[in-house]
Amino acid sequence: MGEITGDTLLKDILENYPELLPVLARQGFHITFCIAEAWLTLEQIAQNRGIPLEPLLDELNRNIDKSG
């Protein structure tokens, strides 16, 4: 899948990198997601929840490197 960006859909992260679920939880994503959010981009969800996007992307991509 490559690098995660603000345009990446949540469903793509969950399908390709399920091990990133704890990272999402630490960054303010609830463990139980609304099914509609699966089709939103990380940028859209971050904006809706008031989560800073860049720190989220940095942590997700760092953890991909560790697991890859």
- Report pTM: 0.83
Task: Collect contacts of 47-52 with beta carbons under 8 A, ≥24 apart.
Answer: 51/27
Distance CA(2)–CA(20), nearest Å, equals: 14
What is residue 34's predicted lDDT score, i.e. its pLDDT?
67
Bridge partners (DSSP) listed for residue 41? 9
- Could you report the per-residue pLDDT of 5-60, keeping only the tens digit for each? 999 999 999 899 999 989 988 888 775 556 777 889 999 989 988 999 999 999 99
**Residue 68 pLDDT exceeds 70:** no
Closest by alpha carbon to 9, among 67, 30, 1? 1
